[in-house]
Amino acid sequence: MRKAVVRFDRSIEVDFVSELKERVNQYFLDKKISKFADTNMQLKTAFMLGLYFIPFIVLVSGMIQSFWMMLLLWSVMGLGMCGIGLSIMHDANHGAYSKKKSVNSWLGYLLNVIGSYHITWKIQHNVLHHSSTNVHEYDEDLNNQILRFSPNQPRRNINKYQAYYAPFLYGLLSLYKTFSKDFEQISRFNKNNLLSGQGVTLNGAVLQITLNKIIYLGATLALPMLILSMPWWQVLIGFLTMHFICGIILALIFQSAHVLDNTLFYQADENGSIDNCWAIHQMNTTANFAKKGRLFSWLIGGLNYQIEHHLFPNICHVHYESISDIVRGTAKDFDIHYNEFPTFFDAIKSHFRMLHLLGKAT
């Protein structure tokens, strides 16, 4: 059985890695600030939780009986789901929200509250994606049965038009995660011996996922159907709209940072090794966007600074903008390319150009 993650050559670009770490650490020492959440992050946490739970409370209170007002509440909840995922849960499950493990654990569990499962997310994102970004058969984010995300993946006829139907599939991402993907992943991760590192067994994880889905669907879908006087199918439309909004936003933010026409894609050798250092690999496979969009960055959890996130996932995202100048400057000093796009729209265009190229190429 092959290793779950690739191995990098630690002897390459040692000076760059050590210099970068030293400069970033010195920044926090000079500023006398913590690498974890600050007051800004705490206020953002309250805002994002309110963006999801306040519309839900209004919804189940029965005060709203208009279909269009109900749909508006579901749509705001979709934005709240994104906010919880991008700005709170993401940092917490990286251990970057707080120096207290208990705080990270509780906030990381918010992923379960919005219908997913924190263990499968940690394995997919922390273990496989961050350690093996854009590496064929290792990066779980490239593992897709319909879309072709890498030139190393085989092309099928259906990929020819993937740039056109991809947005619809992206909208289904959250629903797929809620109803099916967690079960599929937990079985696959167990076969690859990845569950033990998370302190769970297959049976225990399946039980947790099942109970979590029942509680989530009961509270979020069945309860509004029982309380509201409108037809059940109208409530279902609202529920699906919430997930579609969440899915397409999440997909565009993450795919527009890695599957681009100026990022690189790799294949490990038969020993699961890549002839590069991990830090340089992250810079080759990742891109930033919308540096000047401060409000946009605040809303999406600083994930327009994906390079900084991949290099320093243990630092809370509220610090990414500040350390980005350090990373960019250090990369320039060592003649290392720093991928970035002026706007989010530019990154999205690059992503869909890449999807189009991958759909045409053999």
pLDDT at 4 over 80: no
Q: Which residue has the tokens 């979590």?
A: 212
- Roughly how many angstroms between the first and final C-alpha of the chain, as a whole number? 29
Taking only the tens place, the pLDDT of each residue in 180-218 is 999 999 999 999 899 988 999 999 999 999 999 999 999
Residue 234 CA to residue 26 CA, distance in Å, equals: 55
pLDDT value, residue 189: 94
pLDDT at 12 over 90: no
Taking only the tens place, the pLDDT of each residue in 35-78 is 999 999 999 999 999 999 999 999 999 888 899 999 999 999 99
pLDDT value, residue 64: 85
- Residues paired with 266 in a beta bridge: 135
**Hey, is 286 helix, strand or coil?**
coil
Q: Closest by alpha carbon to 272, among 34, 88, 5?
A: 5
Give the tokens for residue 88: 């709170």
Residues 242-264 as b or e (16 or more Cβ within 10 Å = b): bbbbbbbbbbbbbbbbbbbeebb
Residue 356 CA to residue 133 CA, distance in Å, equals: 21
DSSP notation for 142-200: G--SSS--STTSPP-GGGGGHHHHHHHHHHTHHHHIIIIIHHHHHHHHHHTT-SGGGT-
Q: What is the pTM of this model?
A: 0.94
Residue 257 CA to residue 253 CA, distance in Å, equals: 7
Taking only the tens place, the pLDDT of each residue in 167-183 is 999 999 999 999 999 99
Average pLDDT of span 335-350:
97
Average pLDDT of span 241-259:
97
The alpha carbons of the chain give a radius of gyration, in whole angstroms, of: 21
pLDDT value, residue 9: 87
pLDDT band (50, 70, 90) for residue 268: very high
Yes or no: say if 48 and 114 are a contact pair by the CB < 8 Å rule: no
pLDDT value, residue 1: 46
Contacts of 164 (CB under 8 A, 6+ apart): none
pLDDT at 103 over 90: yes
Residue 278 CA to residue 263 CA, distance in Å, equals: 15
pLDDT value, residue 2: 55
CA count, 13 A, side-chain hemisphere, 149: 26
pLDDT value, residue 138: 94
Taking only the tens place, the pLDDT of each residue in 66-86 is 999 999 999 999 999 999 999
pLDDT value, residue 362: 63
pLDDT value, residue 14: 85
Taking only the tens place, the pLDDT of each residue in 121-161 is 999 999 999 999 999 999 999 988 899 999 999 999 999 99
pLDDT value, residue 62: 85
Residue 120 CA to residue 250 CA, distance in Å, equals: 17
pLDDT value, residue 3: 62
